[in-house]
Amino acid sequence: MLRFVVAIALCFAFPAAGWARDTLRIGMTQFPSTLHPSIDSMLAKTYVHGMTLRPITGFDHDWEVACFLCTEVPSFENGRAERVERDDGSVGVRVRYDLHPDARWGDGVPVTTDDILFAWRFGTHPASTVPAREAYTDVLDIEVHGPKSFTLDLKDLTYRYNAANVLRPLPAHLEAEIFEASPETYRNRTLYDTDPTEPGLWMGPYRIAEVATGQYVVLERNPEWFGEEPYFERIVIEVVENTPALEARLLAGEIDMIPGEGGLPIDQAIAFAERGDDRFRVVYEPSLFYEHLEANLDNPIFQDVRVRQALLHAVDREALSERLFAGEQPVAATSVHPLDWTHADDLEPHPFNVELARELLDEAGWTVGPGGVRTNAAGDRLSFELSTTAGNRTRELVQQYLQAQWAAIGVEAVIRNLPPRVLFAEHLSRRQFPGMAMFAWVSTPEHLPQTTLHSTMIPSAENSWSGQNYAGYANPQMDALIDAIEVELDREARAELWRRFQELYATDLPALPLFFRANAHIWPTWLEGVRPTGHQDISTLWVEEWRPKD
């Protein structure tokens, strides 16, 4: 009841026409399933955390590793990285980081190596639910040199040896006791969800001042922030899961902007731009957002690769891109984006070929039955559930397009959509989806998809639902390629491994590629300083640069 009253008060206290420029109002389509930095992966949470937290390292606008919480990116050249050859023949690396001397949590407590050690202890605990567990378990030891200096002893010398993007500090002075009291139930007791306005949870330019689950997050300036002071006193992120309603709120002046990371789909943004409104500007940006279909491979229907191939051949993705996205979103051959240097340019996407799709289904034992839906020898119908984020008009249109094209080859797709926080928190992360789910992965440059494709990353009760291999894909060849890419430092040799990865992906189809998203950012003409990156480390990591034009 309290949150409902606060939401109403917020609406009446700040009418759209009278808001001062010291407040920026942002509209998004998703609300985070959790605000904990290391539990679940969701773009909406990444967007908020860009303003309220800082990683040790991340990727900058040039797609290079950069320091956010550290003072210098380690390298062999500057002496902060040291190759380690072990008695068993393995090769590791020791990497030294110094934390920013002025970095403090929002309650004034310094960010120290205690927070790094606690984050590592949490991430390696069997009961933790971190999506990328290997980023923690690959750290064999952490040598502490002082409150602001430490060395990671890494199991393997990888091509990303100096990127500590995933190992994010957690406030040990607040969270360690809660975790250690009961690691198995920590997910439900963390202050990030039970008391997210606790200042000591945050150390970015902003801290969270108010939360109404599923509705909005209010951010206020963090007086303990160690960097450039941000312009806006507060930022309100409002969630409207229905994209036409989100656009209507923008036009009514109830929100100021819609970010490309979690805002309007590009077809809706194109139509918005064509109508013209001199209060806004629309910026399109190619990005590492990979829209795809993830099949639950525990379902016998999808275990035969011929069925997966048939489903892809039956969809005219080029026509889909032209009709819905004005050709702005390129059809994907695999999960590797054409902008990434590892992309195999001569590897073409699966062509639209209805006859081939029918032949593949015939070979797999699915023949046309009563009502035009195929059945197998046991009488099972070739029918499955197709889910995506409810309220996203474009995804719903894509669903209908897929449904119609698959019906033409005797496949029945039954649409069942869920709110984003439900789809990602339960349906996917606990592998509760029985059929297919359509969503996007956003990645960093030359991202190794270990958490999404390696067989050790299949979420289960035994591993506390960690990992992001929601499909349940397991192929020793893919495991071997991922393992080989990870430790190959030679760029040319790694390029060949990446090509073999893409060839296997295109043949085996662990997921069905659709297209790469171009994000459409809609900003008010009075705002400047917003700089999208096109990758996982998104624009809010530079929120202190945002300000009204002079």
Can you tell me whether residue 106 is helix, strand or coil?
A: coil
Positions of CATH 3.10.105.10 in the chain: 287-517
Strand bridging mode 57-59 / 65-67: antiparallel
Positions of CATH 3.90.76.10 in the chain: 57-173
pLDDT of residue 9: 31
204-259, pLDDT tens digit by residue? Answer: 999 999 999 999 999 999 999 999 999 999 999 999 989 999 999 999 999 999 99
H or E element in which residue 84 lies: strand 81-85
What mean pLDDT do residues 267-280 have? 91
Q: Are 333 and 348 in contact (CB under 8 A)?
A: yes
pLDDT of residue 94: 97
pLDDT of residue 219: 98
The Cα 486–Cα 506 span in angstroms is 20
Give 3-state DSSP helix, strand, coil % of the chain, rounded to 5: 35, 20, 45
CATH H superfamily, domain 19-49+176-286+520-548: Periplasmic binding protein-like II (3.40.190.10)
Least confident of 1-5, 160-164, 303-307, 411-415: 1-5
pLDDT of residue 4: 28
Positions of CATH 3.40.190.10 in the chain: 19-49+176-286+520-548
The Cα 549–Cα 525 span in angstroms is 8
The Cα 135–Cα 56 span in angstroms is 13
Least confident of 10-14, 178-182, 222-226, 416-420: 10-14
Length reported for the chain: 550
H or E element in which residue 154 lies: strand 149-154
What mean pLDDT do residues 21-27 have? 93
> At residue 98, does pLDDT exceed 80?
yes
The runs of H, that is alpha helices, within 182-329 are 186-189, 191-194, 243-251, 266-275, 300-303, 305-313, 317-325
**Letter for the amino acid at 529?**
G
The Cα 416–Cα 419 span in angstroms is 11
> At residue 430, does pLDDT exceed 80?
yes
Q: Which CATH class is domain 57-173?
A: alpha beta
Q: Are 384 and 311 in contact (CB under 8 A)?
A: no
> At residue 1, does pLDDT exceed 80?
no
220: left (phi over 0), alpha (psi -120 to 50) or beta: beta
Q: How confident is the model at residue 391 (pLDDT cuts 50, 70, 90)?
A: confident
Write the DSSP string, 366-378.
-EE-GGG-EE-TT
What mean pLDDT do residues 289-301 have? 96
List phi, psi (to 5°) of 89: 95, -10
Percentage of the chain modeled with pLDDT above 90: 79
H or E element in which residue 210 lies: strand 206-212
pLDDT of residue 463: 86
84-97, pLDDT tens digit by residue? Answer: 999 898 999 999 99
List phi, psi (to 5°) of 515: -160, 170
> At residue 17, does pLDDT exceed 50?
no
The Cα 123–Cα 120 span in angstroms is 5
The Cα 425–Cα 214 span in angstroms is 13
Q: Which CATH architecture has domain 287-517?
A: Roll (3.10)
Q: Are 116 and 167 in contact (CB under 8 A)?
A: yes
C-alpha distances in Å from residue 43, one per residue of 14, 289, 501: 27, 10, 26
> At residue 48, does pLDDT exceed 50?
yes
pLDDT of residue 464: 83
Can you tell me whether residue 542 is helix, strand or coil?
A: helix
The Cα 114–Cα 174 span in angstroms is 11
**Letter for the amino acid at 158?**
T
459-517, pLDDT tens digit by residue? Answer: 998 888 888 999 999 999 999 999 999 999 999 999 999 999 999 999 999 999 999 98
What mean pLDDT do residues 48-67 have? 95
> At residue 360, does pLDDT exceed 70?
yes
189-199, pLDDT tens digit by residue? Answer: 999 999 999 99
Q: Which residues pair with 146 in a beta bridge?
A: 149
pLDDT of residue 20: 55
DSSP 240: -
Q: How many CA atoms lie within 13 A of 308 on its CB side?
A: 26
